[in-house]
Amino acid sequence: MIAKITKLFIVVLSAALLLMGCSKITKENYDKISMGMSYDEVVSILGDADECGGAVGVENCSWGGGEMYIKVNFVGKKVVLFSMKGL
C-alpha cells in the first residue's frame, strides 16, 4: 500500500514540476514587456491571460496567480502599466 502511495506521489510531483517548467510566467518574459506594446504582443510572450477585466477603455489582465503573477494594464490595447510578484 505504501509503495502505491509513494509511486502516485512521485507521478503527481513529476507532472507538477513538468507543468511548472512550461510556464511562461518568468522573469525573463516579464523583462520583454514594455510600455506601448500591444495586447497581442504581450499575449505572444505570455500566452492567453488568466483573467481580464476593466471599463472605460482600460483593461487589466493577469497571468498566473497567488504568489507568482504578472499584471498588465492596457489603455486602447496598449501597455501603460505592468507589475509582477514572485518571479
Q: Residue 34 has what pLDDT?
A: 98
- pLDDT > 60? residue 17: no
Q: What pLDDT, in 10s, does the model give residues 22-73?
A: 689 999 999 999 999 999 999 999 999 999 999 998 999 999 999 999 999 9
Q: What is the 3-state secondary structure (H, E, C) of 43-61?
A: HHHHCCCCEEEEECCEEEE
> How many other C-beta atoms lie within 10 A of the C-beta of residue 62?
17
pTM (predicted TM-score): 0.73
